[in-house]
Amino acid sequence: MCTLPSQRVVVVDNSATNLKILERLGASLGEETVVRCFANSAAALAACARERPDLVVVAGQLGELAAADFVSLLHGERGCEAIPVIVVAPYEERGIIDSALAAGAADHLLSPIDHREFRTRASNLLRLRALSETPPKIALLEAVPVPAPAAPEPGQVGRAHERLLQIIEAVPALVCATDRDVRYIFCNNRFAAFVGLRTARLVGRQPLEAHDDALSRSLQELDRRLLAGENLPANRAHAAGETVWLIDNSALPEEAGGE
C-alpha cells in the first residue's frame, strides 16, 4: 500500500468498542498515519478545526447528534470545507446514511465493517485529498516530435483496470454497468449498498432477477431503449423511498461485436 506522509485521521464514535476497532483500522492505513479518537462530537469538531485532518470517520449516530449534523458542522468550520468524511452505520440506519451523504459526506460503510473495504475506500479518499492539496506545477515545453506510443507492458492493462475500479469506488455516486443481455457486469459498493445486496450477488444477473423494484425496472427499460438506438435523457426512478436520477452516458460501439 502506498502511504502518504503524515496522514491525519480522526475517528468519532461514542461506542468504546467501535472506537477501538476503527482506531486499529485507521492505523493499518500506513506507518505515517496518525489516528485521533473521540467519543465526544464537540471535542472532535474542535480538534478538526485546529488540526484539519485528511479524513474523518464518524458513526451514523452520535448520541443526540446525527452524522448529517456532524458533517454540516465540520464543513462549516473555516478550512474544513473539503475534508472527506466516511459515515459508518448498519443498513437499518439507511435514512441516517442518506442524510449524511446529502449533507456532504464523501462515502459510507456498512457495519459490521469489512476491513479490506475500509482500507480501500479510506486510502482512495486520502489519495484524492492529497492530490487536491498539491499545488499545480506549470512547465514550459518546447514543441518536439511525439513518438508513437509503445505497446503496453504485460500486466500494465490489468493494473490500469484495477486503478480505474478504485477511482470509481471513490466517486460519491451509484455506478453500475450492464451488457447487451442487460446483466450486471459491474456495480460499485455504493450501488450494491443502495439496493441492499453485495456486489457478488448482482454481477451476472439482470436487475429484475437481483432486486425486483422500481429501480431495476427503470434500469431494464433504459437498457432496452438504449439498445434500440434511442438518445436517452436523464430519467427519474424511485427506490428505497428515495428519488434516483438515472443518467445513461453509454455509447454503443458499432464494431467489435458490440461487446
Whole-number percent of the chain with pLDDT over 70 = 75
Whole-number percent of the chain with pLDDT over 90 = 41
Please give the residue that has the higher pLDDT: either 108 or 147: 108
Res 215: pLDDT: 74
Res 20: pLDDT: 95
Mean pLDDT computed over 70-78: 95
Res 182: pLDDT: 82
Average pLDDT, the chain: 79
CA-nearest of 36, 35, 31 to 3 is 31
Packing angle of the helix pair 115-133, 16-27 (nearest 10 deg): 60
Mean pLDDT computed over 216-240: 66
pLDDT at residue 228 is higher than 70:
yes
Res 256: pLDDT: 39
Cα-based distances in Å from 153 to 146, 149, 159, 160, 163: 19, 12, 10, 11, 16
Q: Torsions phi, psi of 249, nearest 5?
A: -110, 30
Domains of the chain (ranges; CATH) run: 7-132 (3.40.50.2300), 173-258 (3.30.450)
Most confident of 3-17, 76-90, 142-156: 76-90
